[in-house]
A and B are shown apart, each in its own frame.
Chain A
Amino acid sequence: MLSGSIKTIALSSILFLSGCGTIYLNAPPDSDVRALPKDAPTTVRVEKKVWFKWWGKYPMNEADVNAATIIEEEGLTEARIRMTNTLADGIVTAVTGIVGFPRRTLIVEGNRKQTAAHTSYEPEAVQTEYDSAATKTFLARQHDQSNGQGE
């Protein structure tokens, strides 16, 4: 059993080291990127290590924490995104995390714009773009509110 002071140090450190590392599984602005099912075939796979500083409080590079960056760089129109904290990340973070630099992994798999030679995933039942009355009303209200706040 750890003594009180050691426990306090350990727990405080864990609290610090836990950080607030946020990763966004998103698409670039003004894009139409479709999410792929987990078993859909893909032609592109990009695995990126995401580094944080100050024990996870801030990313080393803001672009790295957004899957949108990879999607844009690769020109993907279909993608599935995975945020993971692998065992390798844990081992690396065991060293670098102590001095404030934890690491995560972001994986994006997908397909570029469909060509004649390539068949992308085709859903069985395609839904149209969202246009439900509820969503439109909500968005309009939100838009009005944000305009009101900005004035």
Chain B
Amino acid sequence: MRAFIAAASVILLALTLTGCFTTDLTAPRGKSVRILSQNEPAAFRDEHKDFYLLYGVLPIWRTKPEEIIEREGLAEVRVQTEDTVSDAVINVLTGLIVFPQTVVVEGNYAPGHGPADKQ
């Protein structure tokens, strides 16, 4: 019984602390960016892992789509957040201290910003 309570406490604590995971889809200032629908084709795709300490209390690394839009010169974008099995595995391997989340940014380039244009 004590073992069950201990295990349940660990799980409850972990779940309770899963606060503050946040991903924003915003445009960089001064840019016009269209939000893509789910089925539209996207020439650009970038998958990131966000990392939080203490189950979301302290962000170590947070993907900021706004910065990716700016850096890649995207004119159209959509974002997807996902808790994958690999995220859970990382969580377990780090002793439940590091909590990752997968963020996928997809989009299309603005004129003059495509891979061919950069070459």
**Interface of A toward B, CB cutoff 8 Å:** 2-3, 5-6, 9-11, 13-15, 17-39, 56, 66-68, 71, 79-87, 89-91, 93-94, 97-98, 123-135, 137-139, 142-143
Contacts and interface: CB of A to CB of B under 8 A. Distances in A.
Contact of A10 (B10, B87, B116): B10
Contact of A81 (B25, B115, B117): B25
Contacts, number: 221
Q: Is the interface of A mostly helix, strand, loop or mixed?
A: mixed
Interface string B75-114: 1111111111101110110001000000000001111111
A15 B93 CA distance: 11
Q: Is the interface of B mostly helix, strand, loop or mixed?
A: mixed
Contact of B112 (A38, A67, A132): A132
Nearest to B9: A10
Interface of B: 3, 6-7, 10-12, 14-41, 43, 55-56, 66, 69, 75-85, 87-89, 91-92, 96, 108-117
A33 B34 contact: yes
Given A35-B77, A127-B111, A139 B34 contact: no
Contacts of B109: 130, 132, 134-135
Contacts of A39: 29
Contacts of B19: 85-87, 89-90
A101 to B, nearest CB: 12
Given A13-B11, A22-B81, A29-B39, A127 B116 contact: no
5 contacts: A2-B6, A18-B88, A35-B69, A82-B22, A84-B23
